[in-house]
Amino acid sequence: MNKALAYCAFLREEGVSLPAAGVNAAPVEVMTAGALALLWSHVQWPFEPSAMQRHAVEFHEVISHVFRQRAVAPFRLLSVFDDRASLSSFVALHGADFAADLERLRAFVQMECVVYVARPEFVADTASGTRYLRHKAELLRRIEDYTAKIKAVLAETSAEIRVREVKQGVRIFALVKRGREQEFKSIAGDVPVSEGLARRLSGPWPAAEFLSAQVKSPNVAEAR
């Protein structure tokens, strides 16, 4: 069965180089609507589970190809449309929202800092319930401290910072002007991490966390 797999949307402008092939070597096609361009491919669906990892990298490469040049609004890998017509209807309905977000995020990239419990067994020490709870509370306090410090030191470098709790830690997203990525890494990297915690800095990524609700989950926003 063939489906239309959407990769990403970006503002339609001169001089953007496009990738030739996408997931499973499928030709990458461009759909345009007003100021918006959207990359997509016809793909054989469903994906073979054994090829999922390869397809994830191929999908990422298509998005990265454009993202290296411009701001993009990425779709999730598992979002597919029945055919070109249904994708076209989607773009006609939501294209203006996408274009507005891309204009707002035009100059920015997303940088990330994940802070997490380095040794889960430290938390899982169940020798006594009290000890376990104390350990856990202490780690949570250290994570909160770290988050507060990171937010403070990155206030000048970042247009916006969002924090999301994840399993065993937090994920801090910073909206940073393209070109200031190393500055982010240097500043965030200088904040010491407490014992028992680990940190991972990554980026630049497309500013997916900062897309508006109606772009991130168009159907959910419609239902509101």
Q: Which residues bind other proteins (CB under 8 A)?
A: 6, 8-9, 45-47, 49-50, 52-53, 56-57, 59-61, 63-65, 68, 73-82, 90, 114, 116, 118, 120, 166-169, 198, 200, 202, 205-206, 208-209, 211, 215-220
Question: Considering the complex, what minimum distance in angstroms separates the CB of residue 53 from other proteins?
Answer: 6
Question: Considering the complex, what minimum distance in angstroms separates the CB of residue 146 from other proteins?
Answer: 15
Distance CA 29, CA 190 (A): 43
Closer CB to other proteins, residue 76 or residue 141? 76
Question: Considering the complex, what minimum distance in angstroms separates the CB of residue 104 from other proteins?
Answer: 15
What sign results for the dihedral spanned by CA atoms 92, 97, 101, 104?
positive
State CA 52 to chain mean position distance: 19
Distance CA 136, CA 74 (A): 36
Question: Considering the complex, what minimum distance in angstroms separates the CB of residue 138 from other proteins?
Answer: 19
DSSP string over 156-204:
TTEEEEEEEEETTEEEEEEEEETT-HHHHHHHHHTSPPPTTEEEEEEEE
User: Strands of 169-177's sheet, edge to edge?
Assistant: 158-166, 169-177, 108-117, 197-205
Closer CB to other proteins, residue 90 or residue 146? 90
Question: Considering the complex, what minimum distance in angstroms separates the CB of residue 204 from other proteins?
Answer: 9
Distance CA 143, CA 151 (A): 12
Closer CB to other proteins, residue 57 or residue 155? 57
Closer CB to other proteins, residue 68 or residue 141? 68
Give residues with Cβ within 8 angstroms of 222, minimum separation 6.
Answer: 214
Closer CB to other proteins, residue 9 or residue 130? 9
Closer CB to other proteins, residue 74 or residue 154? 74
Question: Considering the complex, what minimum distance in angstroms separates the CB of residue 130 from other proteins?
Answer: 25
